[in-house]
Structure 1
């Protein structure tokens, strides 16, 4: 990736060599590569501040044969990759270069001034959930980028996604899992490419033990997805998936059980019965992990996700293994509903967050406009951090596009919680706009995007019908309540309707003006 990036920025590119010369970039892991460790010792470059850390790196300059050399010192393969790709950032290559056609500017010189600081992630597992892929990511992949069976998102596509994650200093994926998509583990090469890129694969709240019930459970041949009435087939499905993962170490297993896809667990009529069922299911799931993954299941990463109705069940005093990570969720609209209390903060498994930047569901969805204000994301995720929610952060990013900035903002905070503050939110956006579109228009773009987020915060465009979705189809046509008149008042507060229309009109004019000044 670095060679490719360099070729975009300058006329030539790097040349890979096996001997140490001046004016070189030397990359290595001192605790895994004796020759590199000896070189550091010879050059009197310390590495104790990197060795033993998780996914850490630092850049250091030294002199060899009278010529300056740059050292990229990584604590492990993932940290080394982050250290290498940090050089691409210094060269002006955007993480979105491929996904958003961001062509880096040609340069005659690139200056990097390392300060020897160790860079390491604030949150251990940082990543995205590909969701609601029905209209964008899935058809684009299976019909255009990687033609294949209908519904397939294959290894060529996932390789591009995993490269993006590394460039964004992330390390975790919850793969796309809707019924329209061939499940991740049924596509040859997907799991292999995740290991190639060092990406940890987990799964959502309704996919226990990496098993995608929405796409893999066939009721016609397997019966109901019911632990009580169809226990043997349910356990067989879970067992086969866990056994498939034997010998691998890049997985984060969701424990518990909900219904097929995004629904309540079948066979339980009360929250108390739900609680008793989960307290029965989880020990069985852990026994499968002990049999196939590690005899000591406390050494296997596990997540319990009290999403929607499961939070009520958990709050009844449900017993969750201490080593499992509690994944707190937002309300689907960007506001966290729960965080760890003082006793929960002492849990060995720690806590994480599942956060929506895109949502399909009741009372109304918002899928393709990415209007969540960065200030709201900052407020909620900083709160999560302050409550020791530091094990796993996952953002539901839908189809990836057009949520590029919000995704990067979320992952920047996960990588370095101090990378942004209440007083530097605008500067963060301006720096992003400068990298993507050029410094000349950065302030103007940041201003118009800020106005976009402000109007979206006031009311998301998707909600302007004042209606709801996923209601009873017996009562409402297609489960949609009728669009109703706006609650904006044309007769008070200076004509709210006209103010909103005027604000969007002004935004459009400003975007057109900026666009005309950006080279094609």
Structure 2
């Protein structure tokens, strides 16, 4: 049987040999035939609600794939599938007594499950045993994965193919447990998709912005299928607060979901939406401590006894600086007192041993400066580190932070509202960047909690699943590799033939978007102090580069159309959502802005730009009309109504297009000739698609032929990531026999250099070097720090600059 984690791609299944009587060699294969009744033995009355909900989801899948409705029985009855939770179920006790499982296989493990085919009275039986309620639920839905059911069966209308028979081999065994303890998502910037879709389409309400339990049930079903356990609710002012909506917390509990909150929502309080309704005075702990304390106390008492993760500290209402403390020293003193008050609340109302309660502190934005100034955070509190909002993690734990009992966490973005420019529309965060950064995070000790800002969930389906699969089983994703992972994902959704055709299409789609996201194609900024604030202008590209990019996108759009025509009808809605809309909308956005750029220079017709705008409107209307309007209002082609999304104003350029510079030599990072040790090629990553991660202390060499000039301009283009260890990113450069030259390229967030770097996804350093009349030349790069990733190298005639 193909391994479900690898999206039904063949992998090696490691078998465990037992001496117990239930594992005789002559055990027949386990089979469920379409249309034939299947009986499941499970003590649903003694199991948690999440187990019953998982059984309901699996039953839905059985009806879809096998045209059967499983019968759930309990007690001493027999069944073809036995399901139970360790310590909660008579079924488990029966498994133990008959030696089908042993306590040691699951005891002491969180959210783990095992699946095994055994012989019971000469018949094959499938056992699913969980170490706790979530483990059992994940194990049940593992059967769905093995049956070919996508986690996106509802959220992307990924209809599974019907089967005549579902089979597991007689020696089938699988044990799984999470790599990261808390794994989940943050619904954020929901103003233009998730909130209007929920409140007006899926769960209509008269309460302004109220996202209710029916919507959240669908979210939690998805999280259960993705083996996630944590949720940060939407918290913008357009949305009615999660905890003030009846039924929301209850449905989270029914699906085994921990509720947490973001960096500006301490103690499960959405200050942005709740303070104006239930607070008194200013949201200022320093000068209004009694009322702020009472505000937190009410929430803690209301949710005591439920599964929650408490964010400590304080920031201002809706992502602003804390009030009442201006200097870093004042903020540090205030946070120290706040920690004591908040933990006292938890001790009084939740558990007298406060170290048993999940807590997290998030040093985000200006709070990171306070932390670096010596703020002491209780050792049992998890430290959550953040990326710079553009996918590059700002801080990795040092040796002291790695030893903290509370562990380390990460908050990561594939959607963002803010400076230098939003990207809220098409979810083009490069999967290879997500993979590289999260692998580095995990290897650096960030293993307690992973939260992904997914915006509206759609269209970030692929990045969301990749992120959560890595959190579930890092080693398996790492062993498979990011390219094979994508191929298998596409194969699960659209079949092997389409996956083979689609893989290069999706890789190129993400590569082109990595060079410049669709939302950034107007060369605008959203920070008011920027000279390019909301003003559409030329990107710094030559006519040749623009036309090559247009040709590349035209080819992608046509190929997506051709492949889509090969699919059966029942796959086309999912294809539109997961492939066609993201790729073709990105292509048309590029066409709209780039044709306008050429038109400003009288090199194209303005009508071509307007036609592209109309195409985006048409594609978006089609998205919102899918499945008889199921997704109406989910997809908005103009978040925040920024100028980049409108028709381009017809203006003439005042400066010429950038000159085309032709390199004498060019290399991708992975094109090295020699290396001091084995290097890591970052598959698909960077402008080149072949970036190279240089280990600290290692070096690589690039060989050049004769150079017909006296001097060259050497450009080294690197990923604009942040230091992994320490606070430097340094690279030594040696050309021929010259002395070493030092490159440093770490940046501070919000600096102009950082803004330029993240918008183009490159940090660029250049130098002028003399050249002698040799037949061959050698360029050597040596990494002095961890985190160096080389994307491209260009060698130009220095006289052209």
The TM-score normalised by the length of structure 2 is: 0.62
Secondary structure in 2 matching 1:223: coil
Q: CA RMSD in A?
A: 1.8
**Counterpart position of 1:95:** 151
2:544 aligned with 1:487: no
Secondary structure in 2 matching 1:63: strand
1:413-455 per-residue CA deviation (whole Å, 9 max, x = no partner) reads 0000012238721111111111112222012222211111101
* Residues 19, 280 of structure 1: alpha-carbon distance in 2 compared, 3 angstrom cutoff: closer
Decide which of 217, 237, 242 is 1:159's aligned counterpart: 217
| Contact persistence 1:368–1:401 (CA under 8 A) | no
| Contact persistence 1:43–1:62 (CA under 8 A) | no
Decide which of 553, 556, 566 is 1:507's aligned counterpart: 556
Quote how far apart the aligned CAs of 1:7 are: 0.4
**Counterpart position of 1:29:** 85
**Counterpart position of 2:763:** none
* Residues 489, 70 of structure 1: alpha-carbon distance in 2 compared, 3 angstrom cutoff: same
**Alignment partners' CA distance in 2, 1:71 and 1:436:** 27
Secondary structure in 2 matching 1:328: strand
2:468 aligned with 1:407: no
Quote how far apart the aligned CAs of 1:354 are: 0.2
2:343 aligned with 1:276: no
**Alignment partners' CA distance in 1, 2:483 and 2:370:** 40
* Residues 147, 279 of structure 1: alpha-carbon distance in 2 compared, 3 angstrom cutoff: same
**Alignment partners' CA distance in 2, 1:484 and 1:5:** 51
The correspondence of residues 3-402 of structure 1 with structure 2, limited to 5 A, is: 3-18=59-74, 24-113=80-169, 115-148=172-205, 149-218=207-276, 222-248=280-306, 250-402=307-459
Q: Give ranges in structure 1 of 5+ residues lacking alignment.
A: none
1:242-268 per-residue CA deviation (whole Å, 9 max, x = no partner) reads 1111222x1000000111011111122
**Alignment partners' CA distance in 2, 1:318 and 1:509:** 55
Quote how far apart the aligned CAs of 1:21 are: 6.7
| Contact persistence 2:279–2:292 (CA under 8 A) | no
**Alignment partners' CA distance in 2, 1:414 and 1:511:** 31
Quote how far apart the aligned CAs of 1:131 are: 0.3
Secondary structure in 2 matching 1:150: coil
**Counterpart position of 2:477:** 420
**Alignment partners' CA distance in 1, 2:165 and 2:316:** 57
Q: Give ranges in structure 2 of 5+ residues lacking alignment.
A: 1-56, 570-801
* Residues 88, 219 of structure 1: alpha-carbon distance in 2 compared, 3 angstrom cutoff: closer
* Residues 16, 141 of structure 1: alpha-carbon distance in 2 compared, 3 angstrom cutoff: same
Equivalent pairs counted in the alignment come to 511
**Counterpart position of 1:453:** 510
Moved more, 182-191 or 419-428: 419-428
**Alignment partners' CA distance in 1, 2:555 and 2:534:** 32
1:112-132 per-residue CA deviation (whole Å, 9 max, x = no partner) reads 236433200000000000001
The TM-score normalised by the length of structure 1 is: 0.95
| Contact persistence 2:100–2:118 (CA under 8 A) | no
* Residues 341, 234 of structure 1: alpha-carbon distance in 2 compared, 3 angstrom cutoff: same
1:15-35 per-residue CA deviation (whole Å, 9 max, x = no partner) reads 222366776011012332244
**Alignment partners' CA distance in 1, 2:150 and 2:76:** 29
**Alignment partners' CA distance in 1, 2:200 and 2:554:** 36
**Counterpart position of 2:712:** none
| Contact persistence 1:58–1:116 (CA under 8 A) | yes
* Residues 33, 12 of structure 1: alpha-carbon distance in 2 compared, 3 angstrom cutoff: closer
Moved more, 196-205 or 272-281: 272-281
Moved more, 173-182 or 361-370: 361-370
1:296-355 per-residue CA deviation (whole Å, 9 max, x = no partner) reads 211111100011111111011111010000000000000000011001111010000000
Secondary structure in 2 matching 1:70: strand
| Contact persistence 1:27–1:72 (CA under 8 A) | yes
**Alignment partners' CA distance in 2, 1:208 and 1:471:** 29
